[in-house]
Structure 1
Amino acid sequence: MIRILIAEDQQMVRGAFTSLLQFEQDIEVIAAVSDGKTAFETIEQTTPDVCILDIEMPNLSGLEVAQKIRDAQLPCKIIIVTTFARPGYLQKAMDAQVEGYLLKDEPIDFLIQAIRRVMKGERIISTDLSAVLFMQEKNPLSEREAEVLRLTNDGLTTEEISNTLFLTKGTVRNYVSSAIQKVEAESRTAAVQIAIEKGWI
């Protein structure tokens, strides 16, 4: 029996996955949760064979949960199921060595077969995503610019970033300005969002 945990914040999708997978004689859904923090805590407690993780969830994203699973060296297989075919997300999933990365518009049979195949040691990526890996743009940000954008994303002010990195506020502003130009954004917030989507921070 393959023991499954589903982490998906949309109740209808979570319920549909649970119901459809329960029809399979060799699959048992042992938990279905709605946020990343609960997902990781439940994974630690129940050690499922396969974790099916949505990317955009409250508290922790599916990618963050995947990385925590790897850092904790938990034995479960990971399948990311998402609506997003973004190169940055796919690259982060690959970096976390997930076993599957599927788009939600795939037929349920594709997910079921993916579960069985990752249990055999295979890695499964939706066909439409294969080309995405080759479409990745080169990261134009310097290490320091990326670091400033990461801290901005964490909610730090210019002054807090300058204290954290031991830089003057003027230098921090220069890095932010340079990053905005390089990613062709209109604002600091937009620059952060672009960098996240492309997997640059």
Structure 2
Amino acid sequence: MIRVLLADDEDLIRAAVAALLALEPDLEVVAQAADGRTAVDAALAHRPDVAVVDLEMPALDGLRVAAELATALPSCAVVILTGRGRPAHLRRALTAGARGFLAKGAPGGALADVIRRVHAGARYVDPALAADALTAPECPLTPRELEVLRLAGPDAPVTATARRAHLSEGTVRNHLAAVVQKLGVTSRAEAYRTAREHGWL
């Protein structure tokens, strides 16, 4: 039996996936979690063979869960399941140590097949997303600019952002101006939206 952990903050989706996997004779769901921190704790307690985690969850997102498990429980292969995958998410997921990346809109039996593949040591990436990743633009922003934009959001005051980033207000303004210029947009809100759409944040 392949022991599986499921982590998704949407109860209905988690229950549906668990019911789907219960139909497979060689798969057993041994733990479920509604957020990333609980997922890591449950993985360490139950030691599953494969963890299927949502990309966007409270406490820790799927990428951070993958990174933590790659260190704390390397025997557990991680599959990222997402409804809003972007090429940048794919690159970051593979860098974090995920072995699989699958869209929630995939055919019903696809997840079970992916679980078997990654358990056997292979990787799986959604073909459409892999094709998009080959032609997607690289993020032109530096890690610091991305962090400032993430903290600033579309409209947080510069003062609050500077405090959270441990930077001066002038430095935050300079970073945000550089972000707007590099992305070729006219406002911080538009820059934030563009970065979110590309999966850079």
> TM-score higher than 0.5 here?
yes
Q: Do the aligned partners of residues 20 and 182 (structure 1) sit closer, same or farther apart at CA in structure 2, a change above 3 Å counting? A: same
Residue of structure 1 in register with 2:40 after alignment: 40
Residue of structure 2 in register with 1:27 after alignment: 27
Q: Percent identity?
A: 38
Q: 1:92–1:199: 8 Å Cα contact kept in structure 2?
A: no
Higher mean C-alpha deviation, range 181-190 or range 30-39: 181-190
- Deviations along 1:81-124, one digit per CA (max 9) or x if unpaired, are 11123112111111112111111111121111111111111101
Query: Which TM-score applies when normalising by structure 1?
Result: 0.85
TM alignment of 1:86-105, pairs within 5 A: 86-105=86-105
Query: Which TM-score applies when normalising by structure 2?
Result: 0.85
TM alignment of 1:125-144, pairs within 5 A: 125-144=125-144
In 2, Cα distance between equivalents of 1:135 and 1:55: 22
Q: Do the aligned partners of residues 195 and 54 (structure 1) sit closer, same or farther apart at CA in structure 2, a change above 3 Å counting? A: same
Letter in 2 for 1:133: A
Letter in 2 for 1:115: I
The answer for unaligned runs of 5 or more in structure 2 is none
Q: Is 1:12–2:6 an aligned residue pair?
A: no
Q: 2:180–2:187: 8 Å Cα contact kept in structure 1?
A: yes
Letter in 2 for 1:132: D
In 2, Cα distance between equivalents of 1:21 and 1:63: 23
Residue of structure 1 in register with 2:60 after alignment: 60
Offset at 1:49? 0.5
How large is the RMSD of aligned CA atoms in angstroms?
2.5
In 1, Cα distance between equivalents of 2:144 and 2:54: 30
The answer for unaligned runs of 5 or more in structure 1 is none
Task: Kindly tell me the number of residue pairs found equivalent between the two proteins.
Answer: 200
Q: 1:87–1:197: 8 Å Cα contact kept in structure 2?
A: no
Residue of structure 2 in register with 1:120 after alignment: 120
Q: Do the aligned partners of residues 70 and 190 (structure 1) sit closer, same or farther apart at CA in structure 2, a change above 3 Å counting? A: farther
In 1, Cα distance between equivalents of 2:88 and 2:156: 23
Q: Do the aligned partners of residues 16 and 165 (structure 1) sit closer, same or farther apart at CA in structure 2, a change above 3 Å counting? A: closer
Residue of structure 2 in register with 1:179 after alignment: 179
Higher mean C-alpha deviation, range 131-140 or range 159-168: 159-168
